[in-house]
Amino acid sequence: MHSPMEQFEIKRLLDFKIGGLDASFTNSSLWMIIAVILATGVFVMGMRQRALVPGRLQSVAELGYEFIANMVRDNVGDQGKKYFPFILTLFIFILFANVLGMVPYSFTPTSHIVVTFAMALFVFVGVTLIGLARHGTHFFSLFVPKGVPWVLLLLLVPIEIISYFIRPFSLSIRLFANMLAGHTMLKVFGGFVVMLGLIGGWAPLAFIVVFTGLELLIAFLQAYVFAILTCLYLNDAIHLHH
């Protein structure tokens, strides 16, 4: 019987090194590239016709575009338009990586904290730099709650600063933990089906069917949460209020 964690193992497909750094092409990189190619394919192929009445693929592409466009407009406002391409890319990439992970024998890059933390850190550093570029030192007023006596500020400012630095961690832990837990659960219950055999195996099998549906929902939901939190952080940096 395979261990339920075996599906998360990184395997080197092509070995190579860049200046002492191990930059091998792994199964994780392979599935990230597949996600990028498929996502690009959906958008490029979908929009090739540019029909007024969209076909199926064009509907999908337009739906994704409008979904994120509304999200950015509602949460960041007009100044967020500049950052829309980044947030759309982020959302579509995470969505495709998550959903492709549901394909049997595939690999889920987002189930590794290095991958999610790299994305979260990029968002965090980017948003902080945008805030600093827009407001200069006034940006730090984000850490000072308004209308609070100065004695309490001594306690609240450190808490606000830590709250701010928690962001990349909570952002990455959420995505990776959801993917890891879901896929492990599926594998564990898959093991139950084999162990209980022909007589008792049907109950866990029924559970797997239901749980796969839930996993697909979570795959979407986590991409959505990642994108909307990026919007909210961007909004904080641009408008300097919570």
**Minimum Å distance from CB 66 to other proteins?**
12
Cβ atoms 215, 186 nearer than 8 A: yes
Of the candidates 7, 236, 223, the residue with the CA atom closest to the CA atom of residue 119:
223
Minimum CB–partner distance for residue 77 and other proteins (Å): 12
Considering the complex, state which of residue 167 and residue 183 has its C-beta at the smaller distance from other proteins.
167
- Distance in Å, CB of 156 to other proteins, minimum: 9
Distance CA 83, CA 79 (A): 8
To other proteins, the closest distance from the beta carbon of 229 in angstroms equals 7
Which positions touch other proteins (CB under 8 A)? Answer: 70-71, 74-75, 158-160, 162-163, 165-167, 169-171, 173-174, 177-178, 217, 221-222, 224-225, 228-229, 232, 242
Q: Which residues contact 233 (CB under 8 A, 6 or more apart)?
A: 123, 124, 127, 167
Give how far Cα 36 sits from Cα of 183, 203, 208, Å. Answer: 22, 37, 28
User: Nearer Cβ to other proteins, position 32 or 179?
Assistant: 179
Please return the burial class of 24, using the count of CB atoms within 10 Å of its CB with bins 0-12, 13-18 and 19+: middle
Pick the closer one to other proteins by CB: 123 or 171. Answer: 171
**54 CB-contact burial (10 Å; exposed 0-12 / middle 13-18 / buried 19+):** middle
Measured from the CB atom, the residue of 26 and 178 that comes closer to other proteins is 178
**Which residue, 84 or 224, has its beta carbon nearer to other proteins?**
224
> Which residue lies nearer to other proteins by CB, 69 or 102?
69
Angle among Cα 188, 192, 193 to the nearest 5 degrees reads: 120
Least Cβ distance, residue 51 to other proteins (angstroms): 27
The string of DSSP codes covering 101-158 is: TTSTT---GGGSHHHHHHHHHHHHHHHHHHHHHHHGGGGGGGGS-TT--HHHHHHHHH
Residue 29 C-beta: closest distance to other proteins, Å: 26
